[in-house]
A and B are shown apart, each in its own frame.
Chain A
Amino acid sequence: QSALTQPASVSGSPGQSITISCTGTSSDVGSYNLVSWYQQHPGKAPKLLIYEVSKRPPGVSNRFSGSKSGNTASLTISGLQAEDEGDYYCCSYAGGSTLIFGGGTKVTAL
């Protein structure tokens, strides 16, 4: 099964909003409201930002928000900050107790 499709990179100026897309198929993203998003800084383990499409775990800034339409999920970072730079991965339930990740998006604050 191929990875979910994410843009390789997204950039924005500090304070701006950026959106990262995550495109799957009707067998994964399109079939389940079980999309999550992770942030990963170099050399570190990933951090959960969003689960079940749009829910934030305790302690995650409300600058991060998620949504889904059809086979595409999106993560929006509002008020981009330098500390938001890093790699972002979407992840979707794919049925049969399996998961599929996206290829990752590098976020840069210009």
Chain B
Amino acid sequence: EVQLVESGGGLVQPGGSLRLSCAASGFTFSSYWMHWVRQAPGRGLVWVSRINSDGSSTTYADSVKGRFTISRDNAKNTLHLQMNSLRAEDTAVYYCARVFISGTFDFDYWGQGTLVTVSS
């Protein structure tokens, strides 16, 4: 069974940092592109970042470019999102998501999400 389990969320002050993790199981993690998508409380989905299967290529939304870094450890089946210089508007539930077909942008499995709250 495919499972994605996020962790690392919490309360952080503006300007602070957090590192999110997404533990994957039930599939060959190293074969799939992975993404992060966030959802502010009561708001819609917003795409954040993507990484290819071997970690050699990454892309970011303009709103997080230069502040967030996506990475992966295929040996540990884990996806990461390093978030620096956090702002109040980064407050959201962060989901990791697996693409349906490798190299594409449709997500067939999502984690349960981890809440990041940026507040003083």
The residues of A with any CB-CB pair to B shorter than 8 Å are 1, 3, 34, 36, 38, 40, 45-46, 48, 51-52, 57, 87, 89, 91, 93, 96-104
Q: Categorize the interface residue count of chain B.
A: 20 to 34
- Compute how far the CA of A89 lies from the CA of B47 in the bound complex, rounded to whole angstroms: 12
Residues of A within 8 A of B57 (CB): 97
Q: Is the CB of B105 within 8 A of A48?
A: no
State which residues 87-116 of B face A: CB under 8 Å: 95, 100, 104-108, 110-113
- The answer on a CB contact under 8 Å between B108 and A1 is no
Are B113's CB and A89's CB within 8 A?
Answer: no
B111/A45 in contact, CB under 8 A: yes
Check A48 against B107 for contact (C-beta < 8 Å). yes
Contact partner of A91 (CB less than 8 A), chosen from B47, B61, B110, B111, is: B47
Q: Are A97 and B50 in contact (CB under 8 A)?
A: yes
Closest 8 CB pairs of A and B: A45-B110, A51-B106, A99-B47, A97-B59, A104-B44, A101-B45, A36-B106, A103-B44
Q: Do residues A89 and B45 form an inter-chain contact, with CB atoms below 8 A?
A: yes
**Contact B44–A89 (Cβ < 8 Å):** yes
Interface residues of B in 43-61 (CB under 8 A from A): 44-47, 50, 57, 59, 61
Q: Does B62 contact A (CB under 8 A)?
A: yes
B59 cross-chain contacts in A, Cβ below 8 A? 96-98
Q: Supply 11 A–B pairs (Cβ within 8 Å), ascending by A.
A: A38-B45, A45-B112, A46-B45, A48-B100, A51-B106, A52-B106, A57-B108, A98-B47, A99-B35, A99-B47, A99-B50
